[in-house]
Amino acid sequence: MTTNRLLPSHWYTLPFYIKGSGQVISYVYPYVVDIYAGGYIDGTKLGYMTNDGSNVWNLTDNWTRHTYTFKSKVSLLAKGVQNVLFRAFKGNTVYTTMPKFEAETLATDYSPAP
C-alpha cells in the first residue's frame, strides 16, 4: 500500500461537491496549514488561515461545488497521519461526492483516474 504525504511549502487544492441541511466544518489535520500564506475558499483569497485549516460550509438542497486551497507549512513533519476531515453536527444532513485532492492551486474537473 502506498501512502502519499503532503510536501512542505506546497499549495494544495481540494475541490468537492456537497449538499444537505445545516452546516459542516472541514479541517486539515494535524495542523499542516501555513497560516500566514493565506488561502482560498471558493476562489476568494483569505489573508489568514486557522492552523487546523477549519472552514464552515453552509449547506443547501442543491449540489454545490466548493474549493479549498491552502499552503502547507515549511516545517511540515513527514511522519504521521494527514487528513482532511468533515464534521457534521447532530441534526445536520450532509452528502459529499467527487473530492479530488490536488497538488496545485487550480482545481481541475473531476476524473476517476488516480
What pLDDT band is residue 80 in, cutting at 50, 70 and 90? low
For 84-94, what is the mean pLDDT? Answer: 90
pLDDT of residue 1: 41
Burial class (CB in 10 A: 0-12, 13-18, 19+), 114: exposed
Model pLDDT, residue 2: 46
What φ, ψ does residue 9 adopt, rounded to 5°? 55, 40
pLDDT band, very low/low/confident/very high, at 4 (cuts 50, 70, 90): low
Tell if the pTM clears 0.85, that is, is over it.
no
Q: DSSP code of 30? A: T
Structure confidence at residue 79 as a pLDDT band (50, 70, 90): low
- Which residues are CB-neighbours of 28 under 8 A, at least 6 positions away? 52, 53, 70, 82, 83, 84, 85
Is beta strand 44-46 parallel, antiparallel or unpaired with respect to 39-41? antiparallel
